[in-house]
Amino acid sequence: MKLADLRQEYMRAGLAEADAHVDPLVQFERWLHDAQAAELPLANAMTLATVTASGAPSARVVLLKGIEQGGFVFYTNYLSRKGRELAARPLACLVFLWAELERQVRVEGRVAQVPADASDAYYESRPLGARLSAWASAQSEAVAGRTVLEQAFGAMQAKHGDRPPRPPYWGGYRVEPDALEFWQGRADRLHDRLLYRRAARGAGWTLERLAP
């Protein structure tokens, strides 16, 4: 079958302004709960889009690890490609896709590192192998082969044992949203798109409908 012939009719649900919560983070948590209740794989997976210092786009999939202080939190190596891009331009876009529910959410906002104690707490909660890997892998850098990574992992295991401290170059980011769009597939491609925009700081959110 040709890709152009692949089609899907969207019939599962709708999203009306009257049913949307006034707080977009509460609305997001509702939809995330629905995705988890439906037992969708990696319901917390999100595409993280950044830009380089010259403005070139860059994207990858990461995992949401919390909604804290009004923002979306994920963890990574600060020296990785995304870390370097966020250091140069601390802005990002997140996209969540729950295809089985015919839903997606787009988040745009500013990015800041979470406090060190929050990164420490999350790092300690990770499996031992993941903690050692944070030491062994110079994320996004070229390596000669997998053997190099395995040897580095073994060296870190011998050095730190089962109590590795958090690497100083590894920790969390919080995306503080200025806009969130909720997309619900509808029949005949007349999809529901509700866009929340942050009003003045502390003044809540505005809500508008976008044409599909």
Distances (CA, A) of 197 to 5, 116, 210: 36, 30, 12
- The Cα–Cα gap between 73 and 26 comes to 15
How far does Cα 146 stand from its chain's mean position? 27
| 201 Rama sector, left if φ>0, alpha if ψ -120 to 50, beta otherwise | beta
Query: Looking at residue 93, what DSSP letter applies?
Result: E
Q: Is 138 exposed, middle or buried (0-12, 13-18, 19+ CB in 10 A)?
A: middle
Which amino acid, residue 49?
A
Can 110 be counted among the known catalytic residues?
Answer: no
- Please tell me which residue in 7, 146, 163, 189 is annotated as part of the active site: 189
**Structural tokens at position 147:** 């053997």
Contacts 24+ apart (CB under 8 A), 82-90: 82/48, 82/50, 82/58, 82/140, 85/50, 85/51, 85/52, 85/53, 85/58, 86/50, 86/111, 86/173, 88/52, 88/53, 89/50, 89/51, 89/52, 89/53
Residues labelled catalytic:
189
